[in-house]
Amino acid sequence: MYRYIIKGGTKLQGEIDVSGSKNASLPILAATIISGKTTKLYNVPDIQDVKTTIKILEGLGCKIKKDKNKLIINSKYMKNTMIPEDLMRKLRSSVIIAGAIIARFKQVKFSYPGGCDIGARPIDLHLKNFKKMGIKIDENTSYIECKCDKIESQTIALDFPSVGATENLILASILGKHEMIINNAAMEPEIVDLASFLNRMGAKIYGAGTNTIRVKGVETLKDVSYKIMPDRIEAGTFLIATAMTGGTIKLNKVIPEHISPLLHKLSECGCKIIEDKNTIYLSTNGRLNGAEIKTMPYPGFPTDLQPLFSTMLTICKGTSIVTENIFENRYKFMQEIKRMGGKATIEGKTLIIKGVKKLHGANVESTDLRGGASLVLAGISAKGITKVSKVDYILRGYENFDVKLNQLGANIVKEEGD
Ligand code: UD1
């Protein structure tokens, strides 16, 4: 385990490039299984979750070459259809590898996935709708075994627009002679990126980015090269970090439309924002105002930015109200922020924050990926020294997090420790 030692009180200033998206890379990596061909992926972030996914794919028999942010994946000789339990537990998105294996081999064996502890995170929507597609599921052992002769045409209505379930159902229905309609589908940009990638391979997916997605089965797929979209959550993290320190930033290689709810809220708080194609400029003038946010599926305010934005609100003027509608256990980080002088109370789904002028340094512990990143942002803006332990959570999803923040003027040292 690593920890960060942060000397707080610096204003972030400068320019950085946004990395490739974690949440787009993971399903696209899974999708490379389906073709049985060679795929070249560019702009893949060098993060722990990608490394774990590569390990799973290699364990299944894929041959993978990695050169910084470029991956070449050959899935031709893959034969294994069982995902090992230890790797499954490391990563929530490992569940969508199951959909990709079913698409190609019509069978898969896997266990319940792990991932960040931000709520119960069941996979009932995945399994229930696999059954509707004609897949037989045996859950009688510690493993889940899925089998089918063919995927059957079906119209599915998701009870909730789950990102993972939408991706899994798309992946499972790529090959065959059926037609699948997914209603109340998730509309996140990462779903559009997955569909664009698969369509370039020869799949027939229509309507990604809307709430109705149609997948027409095809017989084969082909070799492709593809560049992963920018990470909208990383982009949001750097904007919030800069806003918290009263700094200025030029963020390159970003798609502003993907984070428009955040940009609106940051403007409401008093930040000056200029968008220009793939660049966002943010500057601040004086202490920011508090705000009210409610997390929602896309195009609403993203739950992944909630911990970071809530942390910023702890030093904004007045009272702020946050409502977390997606995950029931996503305020754990606030216990740690309170050790740094933050003032907030939790009432069910709602967080009521009373803004203080400044946080102070403390020894704090990352609770999960985005919660951990929030503590780093708090440490940069706080007075004094903050030690953030269990940084490994953060390394799951941010590429060179400390290096990029230091490039903007932060003072973070990464060291081994608990
Ligand atoms: C993905 C993202 C994660 C993001 C989340 C919501 C990846 C790798 N992760 O996670 O960063 O926070 O979308 O935008 O892309 N649910 C069920 N049953 C299911 C599936 C989901 O009840 O079978 C519930 C979940 O518990 C949660 C809600 O639906 O309350 C949303 O989950 P979902 O959209 O599936 O999130 P993930 O795909 O896990």
* Average pLDDT over every residue of 153-175: 97
DSSP β-bridge partners for residue 412: 6
Atom of ligand 1 nearest to the CA of 127: 23
Question: Tokens 């979209």 sit at which residue?
Answer: 229
- For residues 194 and 27, the answer to whether their CB atoms sit within 8 Å is yes
- Of the candidate ranges 89-98, 270-279, 389-398, the one whose mean pLDDT is the lowest: 89-98
pLDDT-derived band at 118 (thresholds 50, 70, 90) equals: low
User: Which of 162, 171, 211 maximizes ligand 1 atoms within 8 Å of its Cβ, making it the mutation to test the pocket?
Assistant: 162
DSSP β-bridge partners for residue 155: 181
User: Using CA atoms, how far apart are residues 69 and 198, in angstroms rounded to an integer?
Assistant: 20
Q: What is the pLDDT of residue 88?
A: 84
Q: What is the pLDDT of residue 80?
A: 94
* Average pLDDT over every residue of 347-370: 97
- For residues 352 and 345, the answer to whether their CB atoms sit within 8 Å is yes
Topology agreement, domain 2-15+231-416 and domain 23-227: yes
Give the neighbor-by-neighbor strand order of the sheet with 272-276. 13-17, 248-252, 279-283, 272-276
Q: What is the pLDDT of residue 120?
A: 67
Residues ≥6 apart with Cβ < 8 Å to 16 = 238, 249, 251, 252, 404, 407, 408
- CA-nearest residue for atom 29, ligand 1, is 162
User: Which of 112, 326, 329 maximizes ligand 1 atoms within 8 Å of its Cβ, making it the mutation to test the pocket?
Assistant: 326
Q: Provide the 10 A C-beta neighbour count for residue 114.
A: 17
User: Using CA atoms, how far apart are residues 140 and 44, in angstroms rounded to an integer?
Assistant: 37
Q: What is the pLDDT of residue 36?
A: 97
pLDDT one-digit tens code per residue, 23-49: 999 999 999 999 999 999 999 999 999
Q: What is the pLDDT of residue 111?
A: 87
pLDDT-derived band at 85 (thresholds 50, 70, 90) equals: confident
Domains in the chain: boundaries: 2-15+231-416, 23-227
User: Using CA atoms, how far apart are residues 77 and 315, in angstroms rounded to an integer?
Assistant: 54
- CA-nearest residue for atom 1, ligand 1, is 163
Just list the catalytic residues: 116
- Of the candidate ranges 108-112, 342-346, 384-388, the one whose mean pLDDT is the lowest: 108-112
* Average pLDDT over every residue of 338-359: 97
- CA-nearest residue for atom 21, ligand 1, is 162
Q: Beta strands of 143-231 (E only): which ranges?
A: 144-147, 154-157, 179-183, 204-206, 212-216, 224-227
* Average pLDDT over every residue of 225-241: 98
How many angstroms separate the alpha carbon of residue 167 from the centre of ligand 1?
11
Q: What is the pLDDT of residue 418?
A: 66
What is the SS3 assignment for 383-415?
Answer: ECEEEEECCHHHHCCCCCHHHHHHHCCCCEEEE
* Average pLDDT over every residue of 210-218: 98
DSSP β-bridge partners for residue 388: 4, 364
User: Which of 160, 167, 171 maximizes ligand 1 atoms within 8 Å of its Cβ, making it the mutation to test the pocket?
Assistant: 160
Ligand 1: residues within 6 Å at CB?
23, 26, 92-93, 119-126, 160, 162-165, 190, 303-304, 326-327
3-class secondary structure, 126? helix
For β-strands 248-252 and 13-17, DSSP reports them as: parallel
Question: Tokens 């007075």 sit at which residue?
Answer: 383
CA gyration radius, the chain: 21
Q: What is the pLDDT of residue 116?
A: 61
- CA-nearest residue for atom 15, ligand 1, is 23
pLDDT one-digit tens code per residue, 43-63: 999 999 999 999 999 999 999
3-class secondary structure, 250? strand
How many angstroms separate the alpha carbon of residue 250 from the centre of ligand 1?
31
- CA-nearest residue for atom 24, ligand 1, is 121
Q: What pTM was computed for the model? A: 0.97
* Average pLDDT over every residue of 139-166: 94
Atom of ligand 1 nearest to the CA of 302: 14
Atom of ligand 1 nearest to the CA of 162: 34
Mean pLDDT of the chain: 96
In the predicted structure, residue 122 carries a pLDDT above the cut 90: no
Q: Report CA-CA distances (Å) from 150 to 33, 109, 136, 171, 284.
A: 18, 17, 11, 14, 57
Question: Tokens 């490739």 sit at which residue?
Answer: 20
pLDDT-derived band at 14 (thresholds 50, 70, 90) equals: very high
In the predicted structure, residue 240 carries a pLDDT above the cut 80: yes
Q: Report CA-CA distances (Å) from 356 to 112, 254, 311, 338.
A: 42, 31, 11, 11
CATH number assigned to the domain covering 23-227? 3.65.10.10
Q: Provide the 10 A C-beta neighbour count for residue 418.
A: 8
User: Using CA atoms, how far apart are residues 211 and 191, in angstroms rounded to an integer?
Assistant: 11
Atom of ligand 1 nearest to the CA of 298: 14
Q: Report CA-CA distances (Å) from 259 to 9, 94, 240.
A: 27, 26, 12
Task: Give the DSSP H/E element, type plus range, for residue 354.
Answer: strand 350-354
Q: What is the pLDDT of residue 113?
A: 80
Q: What angle do CA 124, 128, 129 make, to 5 degrees?
A: 120
User: Using CA atoms, how far apart are residues 203 and 197, in angstroms rounded to an integer?
Assistant: 9
| High-pLDDT (> 90) share of the chain, % | 91
Residue 181 phi/psi, 5° resolution? -120, 125
Fold for domain 2-15+231-416? UDP-n-acetylglucosamine1-carboxyvinyl-transferase; Chain (3.65.10)
Q: What is the pLDDT of residue 362?
A: 98
